Structure 1
Amino acid sequence: MDLRARLRNDSNHEGVLLLDGGLATELEAQGAHLQGDPLWSARLLHTNPKAIKAAHHSFLLSGADVIISATYQATIQGFVEHLGVSSDAARELLASGLRLAEEAATAFSSGKRATHPVVVAASVGSYGAFLHDGSEYSGAYADKMSIEELKACHRPQLQCLAAAGAGVLALETIPSVKEAGALVELLREFPNCDAWISFSCKDGTRLSDGNLLQDGVRVAGRSTQVLAVGVNCCPPEWVEPLLDSVAALKSPDRRWVVYPNSGEEWDAQQGWQTSAKTAANIPTLSDVWIKQGAALIGGCCRVCPDQIGELRRHLNRRLNISTEEEADLET
């Protein structure tokens, strides 16, 4: 089922769709070694596709309505450079990321556990993800590139995913207004694809490049193909002020999407460091996000299937409460 149709179904969990969590986090929990790999989880499209499908299945079992393909760091150039494969083989690997997610969704939907149709979104990371230097959290490269250069970098990946049948593109961890503008322009070349754009941010009002989230939302609003805009891979406590900062731009034609990380902090030497802010906060915090208009909620790095399951149970309880309140009003 397509995302546009699901977002119209406001009776489903108060209009909220549950995204999956950190795919790489689940792959690492299965034993994959991803840290430092320039292809990150996309390498497993080549070496262990069964693990990717199993990770998707884990999030579906936890109640996710939407799963995101393992193509965030998958590019034709990256596969050619780091796997030594041909361009044609690289395209097939990229397409296989979408296919694996669709196969997992189909298998789940045909099983007894399925209670809702699953949406598959094809992940497209920022150009910084390809660079593998952390610049998806600064956007520094965008200052040195033109809109046309950014479009040229993204075009092969979008061409491949669109040809593979992607109906929804998850344009993720976008750090700059300029790159968002390039992607909005590029979407016109793929009229059969809808999308969401989620930004990386540096605080409770600003994108990683220093511009306001408001500026990014306005740019996203130039395209009717962009069904949702928001943030991902930020600390959970930033989501409320970020959505507050764009409240005046809320539109029935454009929903909010939020999927923060666990709140743990990344240290280049020691990896993820646990702090007092953990993913356990996400279900409680989501109550406010829903009131602010968030229609797509999930998790990013370090958010595992168990935590998505906890969020699903929280959303289910909210739905029951809302249903009971409506019944009381009717009587």
Structure 2
Amino acid sequence: MGRERIQILDGGMGTTLESIGHSVSSDLWGSELLYTNPSAMQSIHKGYVEAGADLVETCTYQLTPTNLQKYLSSSSEEHKERSSSSSSIIRSSVNLVHDSFRDKPGVVFSCGPYGSTLKPGAEYSGIYPPPYGPNQSSDPKGNTYKFNYFSNTEEGKAQEENAIHHLTQFHLDKLICLLDDDDQGEVWKKINWIAFETIPLMYEIKAIRRCMKTLNEIARNKYTDGHSRYDGGDGTEKQWHRKKFWITCPFPNGQHPQLTPEGKTISIDTILHILLDPHEDEEIPDGIGINCTNPLYVPQLSSQFTKQLKKIRMSKYELPVFVLYPNGGQVYDVHTKTWSTPLDSPGNAMEWSKGVLEVVNDLEKDKKDDGQYTWGGVIVGGCCKTSFGEIKALKIGLDELYR
């Protein structure tokens, strides 16, 4: 067990921007600062690096080429004078993070679910409109019943496949902006991870895996001859075009939002199989885990992830990294866009980090019957309502734990 197996991720972005006086009330949740005030955005990134983060996310969670272009077209005359495309602004988010590090940059490109672009947000419900979700039903009185699953009929399966197709394209449209003809892959090379976070649906996970399969193939064809390689930095030679990615899910009230056609909560076992089972047209994620979940639920959920992973036959070279970044313990109301603080939420940054580090310690202690680690490593940080104090507390706690 070693400290080198654990990397620290940054904390929340939107809530941190809000706490220091920036508005996050737009459809872009503060991401417009990439265009209007990039230095303010970079100050947040630098703050996390100084707090001890090894990995820092771009402020692109809600950002898409479509909503960004809509914002640009409606910007004030002052901002319209700048000649910027949505693609160039998305690429600039990578450079802002990269240049915030003094050495060994750890850039994570953030991708939220389709639900993060809806009003109200649907990251915690997974209720998407067609064609991204199932057709909703109504009773004779006009009451609409909303659900996030497809029926087991042939029609339901066809609808699900159509939704996967549209969600694959949704994620690909955003990521393809990073593959620019002018920079010879310089922006692409700066990215260490792509994070698909707060994913509430199993069929969106399938779409993301298809997206990454396609994206990595496009990058390989664009930037290499199929043989060009470089040192990945961990002692192994890797094809540089392929990007590591993780998929993390929210667990509001300790349960995944996805329901079965019978209306039951989906099991952790099913989640892991959908995340990790090999399919020819799907890339297997390098990391899986939990984000934007109350830290009170994290110990039991992490234990269930570990228990189920042991049942999946994988070599030590294929083991995924466990990615964990819970929220600060507050509860968000998507309709009022306000936060409430339950009585049992952590009282301060040190209390929050202590609970999270206990889970990290358990993850690293867990071994398979052959003595090998269960997980390929751990990435740990914070999500909404965590900030510099929580990340600094994680850094201090980890250093003490592995002194």
Same fold (TM over 0.5): yes
Shift of 1:30: 2.7
Which position in structure 2 is the counterpart of 1:63?
A: 52
Which position in structure 1 is the counterpart of 2:354?
A: 284
Structure 1 residue 154 corresponds to structure 2 residue 171: yes
Query: What is the letter of the counterpart of residue 308 of structure 1?
Result: I
2:100 is paired with a residue whose SS is helix
Shift of 1:261: 0.6
After the TM superposition, which residues 90-101 of structure 1 pair with which residues of structure 2 at under 5 Å, given as runs?
Answer: 90-101=86-97
Q: 1:74 aligns with which of 46, 53, 63?
A: 63
Q: 1:274 aligns with which of 341, 344, 364?
A: 341
CA RMSD of the aligned region, Å? Answer: 2.3
Shift of 1:62: 0.4
Mapped partners of 1:196, 1:58: distance in 2: 24
After the TM superposition, which residues 1-331 of structure 1 pair with which residues of structure 2 at under 5 Å, given as runs?
Answer: 11=2, 13=3, 15-34=5-24, 36-84=25-73, 89-105=85-101, 108-109=102-103, 117-141=104-128, 142-144=132-134, 146-163=163-180, 164-165=187-188, 166-191=191-216, 192-209=242-259, 210-221=265-276, 222=278, 225-246=284-305, 247-250=307-310, 252=316, 253-267=319-333, 268-269=335-336, 271-276=338-343, 277-278=345-346, 280=349, 281-285=351-355, 286-293=357-364, 295-320=378-403
Aligned length: 300
Query: What is the letter of the counterpart of residue 88 of structure 2?
Result: E
Q: Cα 1:214–1:44, aligned 2, differ >3 Å: closer, same or farther? A: farther
1:147 is paired with a residue whose SS is helix
Shift of 1:161: 2.8
Which position in structure 2 is the counterpart of 1:323?
A: none
Say whether the 8 Å CA contact 2:247–2:289 is kept in structure 1.
Answer: yes
TM-score, normalised to structure 1, is: 0.84
Say whether the 8 Å CA contact 2:6–2:380 is kept in structure 1.
Answer: yes
- Superposed CA deviations along residues 139-176 of structure 1, whole A, max 9, x for unmatched, are 11153361101111111111113543134200111011
Shift of 1:22: 0.5
Mapped partners of 1:44, 1:226: distance in 2: 30
Say whether the 8 Å CA contact 2:213–2:283 is kept in structure 1.
Answer: no
Q: Which runs of 5+ in 1 are unaligned?
A: 1-9, 110-116, 321-331
Mapped partners of 2:7, 2:382: distance in 1: 12
Mapped partners of 2:284, 2:167: distance in 1: 19
Mapped partners of 1:148, 1:269: distance in 2: 32
Shift of 1:287: 1.5
2:133 is paired with a residue whose SS is helix
Say whether the 8 Å CA contact 1:180–1:216 is kept in structure 2.
Answer: no
Question: Per residue, is there more helix in 1 or in 2?
Answer: 1
